[in-house]
Chain A
Amino acid sequence: MVGLVIVSHSERAADGIKEIAAEMAGDTQIEAVGGDGDGGIGTSATEIQDALDAISDGEAVVLVDLGSAVMNAELAIEMSATDAEIADAPVLEGAVNAAVSATSPKATLESVLEAANEAGEISKV
């Protein structure tokens, strides 16, 4: 089963996005990680690595918000044993799409990543 890691500059934002995505996620494992590790706004590669390592099945799609979240997520993936890919998607919509996709019995890292990326096409108005 493919897991999800939500990365935001804010821990509360990450937790909130996880809360929304979990509504559609069934048994999919979702880890939320946010902040700079000291209670401030930012992202931390080592904290993201911990979240990746916590994914029990060794495969994860990573949803990120802004700027250096991408760099820290890349670095965390390099440091973690978990096989992971970063979605090129808006973090909330991507997380919901990925969560739904991950519930499929045929879900793979690629299919969940693709579903997350499709969230970039969603038009809101």
Chain B
Amino acid sequence: MLSKYDYFKPDTLEKALEYLEKNSETRILAGGTDLMLLLRKDAVSCEHILDIKDIPETKILSYTPKVGLFIGASIPVNRIAEDDVIRGVYPALCQAIDGLASFQIRNRATLVGNICHASPGADTSAPLLVYNAKVHIASIEGVRIVDIANFFTGVKKTTVKENEIVIGVSLPDVEQGDNSIYLRKARIKGHDLCNVGLAMRLTSKKEMYVAMAAVAPIPLRLTELEKTIGTKELTSELGPWIQEEIKKYMDPRRNSVRSSREYRFHIAGVLAKRGLLNLLEKEAK
């Protein structure tokens, strides 16, 4: 660690935002599972570390029927996955969390940190996309709310500015009969980042939403594919069709360390077919 920084842990959002306004070169610390690595490898230099874990707004994890779910920026992902109510309402989100790294990491890592780090393969991004999540971003001017679909701007880049803090993410409530699934393929079970992550959601109105991680510079919501699915009858016969169709909407890297482009196309097709059949099967019960 070469960085020499000021460590500041404010207990109100105002103090945090003022500190951020005054000090450029500030890194925000929540779970730290990304930041600590960067500091250790001296991949970033920062003069200030702002620990947001004492800010009350970031400590909220609450589900309200008819309103939805709010996940504060300091909430470790395990807290979300351990909540049976949340698991029942947003299954794809909890399944994505289950696949993240290891249990110890999930005790520290936060959902908001996962999207702010904005790795193209961020597992939790795809479920948030199919649930039309909103990201709450605070600055001294106030809080702006951004659709998750507009949050990612590039590889490890987001719409968050230097003087802003993401305080949380909210997911609208779902209606009875809504279901979703998250499927991922990694080189090994456990620790590894995914080669392809796929979230599918079948709403109570029988609309299919699809989002993918790790197949483009940013996590994708496949709205065009969704429109095409909407014109067809949802039966298991769609399986082979979606397996080929989904490949038109991705642009995987050509020189990735984890897998070849062809492999990602293939796996995306397999996962899409599997996800579709799984959701239709659950519906039939």
Q: Do A and B come from one complex?
A: no
